[in-house]
Structure 1
Amino acid sequence: MTAVLSVQGLHVAIGEGSGSANVLRGVSLELEPGEVRGLVGESGAGKSMLGRAVLGLLPANAIIAAGKISFEGRDLVAMPEPERRSLLGRRIALIPQDPMTSLNPVKRVGGQIAILLRHHLALSKRDALARAVDLLAEVAIREPRRVLELYPHELSGGMRQRVLIAMAFACDPSLVIADEPTTALDVTVQRQVLQLVERLRQRHGAAVLFVTHDLGVVAKICRTMTVLHAGRVLEEGETADVLTRPRHPYTRALLAATPRADRPAEALRPVPPALIDSLWAEAHRLDRLTATAPS
């Protein structure tokens, strides 16, 4: 079975010459059809940068220095830009972190969904708006016809996130990259959003790369997980195995630093600074080896 997404030895650097910095260091991972993989690590680990590399939305000063990204067997890095852009929103979709800044504040919700459908599915304006109503109903938004006429600021944060989820699954994608979509939501809405993403994933058969720093979210929704630090994969495997039998000291430290509802009196244990220092030292050593390796 061909993997939906295959990342092999991916190196991404920002800047030029002596001022450049590596943000991804030889990252490799695969997603099978229908798989939900959690991509976890603290801020700055390279989680969102990996998602941007897959989407072809790296910052202007970032380059893919080495490695390969394949989508359904096709090389995204070597793919002509028009062909790659045609996949975005249709075959590869994004659920962004901040719905308020991701939706256009001066356009009504219905128009924003409709333009996506008209562009990718060649629907008429009337058919696109009718389909938009169905999509909003699919993500459990009440009175979807009324909501189509509203502007983003007239919706709650949870409703805005539901709109973005509806747009992500609108064209029946094979791959959805969810970039911390529950970070700005309260616990109750967060649970509803996770249940919604899982229900839509099952209905559409999509693979999901779920970017998050929350191990609780990973435990709820992800079958497999990858642990990143300083742009390197430190551990990966079945979620249940990684969370119950972590092999890498960093993974064990992350678990120890996570508050437990069943142990409210237990003191929090931050990740030891000595461990972080050793991980960064190893990352910089690998950078030097890569820089001096023959091309």
Structure 2
Amino acid sequence: MNFRQLESFVTLASELHFGRAAALLHLSQPALSQQIRKLERELNKQLLVRSSRKVSLTSEGARFYPLARQALAHYQKAEALIAPEGDEFSAVHVGYVGSALMSETLLEQLRLFEQNHQGVLRLQEANVQTQLSMLETSELDCAIIRGPIPLSSRFCKMVIAKQPLICALPQALAQGLSEPLSLSDLSELPFILIEDPPGTGLTGAIIAACDKAGFVPRYQQSVVSVNAALAMVAIGLGAAIIPQCMVSQNFAKVCYFQLKDELAPSELLFLYRRNNHHPGLIELASQLDVL
């Protein structure tokens, strides 16, 4: 059970109308329904009765409602008490893919924001799919992910870094190869790919590039991060296409090659809901917009 779930339940229980509650919470109605279902699953209780015309509390929901309001009030008081003195806004919840933190420019901007607003940043590593879902349900204020992503009128998107893509190969498979490689040189090799939703993230970019080169990459292993992909390469399981910034990880038994294909650079994106007016988020977005 978390703050967002409690806030969603209390607001919906007060309004007894999904449309009004969703508007107050700056959520879509499906995202609000998802928060309520998560809470009910965790409590193993049905809190609301839904029909096409109305929403009402079950007996368990009616008993839980005043307790949830109290818990929400205590949470807000506790957050206010531990907020740094003189700071004008509460926590900013930021999701990120692990490879994003290899960008020294991004790190410097996050460092500057933390210096100006100590204790406000709440950073959480998660893959693209999880971050997009958490944005929808307001569990994150913003997401730092690798493009491409589907266009959505609900989100604002900024490109905060562009990084070239290179190839990582196990030492055994790299024998006799010289730079630059062509993607087509890799067509018979197994690939290590990140578990991104179809057409999105780093994997979406890689599959599109391979398609342009005339082949479909053969999956050997799916992983959740670029670091894990490099570890799989080091073990000898296959090839990986990675942002050039990841070379600094210095995995043993991994060889890196420039690619001669005209690949679009990997875009690091800053994403947030268009209707999120959190002042801390707005300041962070403004700060990153100069990159």
Same fold (TM over 0.5): no
TM-score using structure 2 length:
0.25
Structure index of larger Rg: 2
TM-score using structure 1 length:
0.25
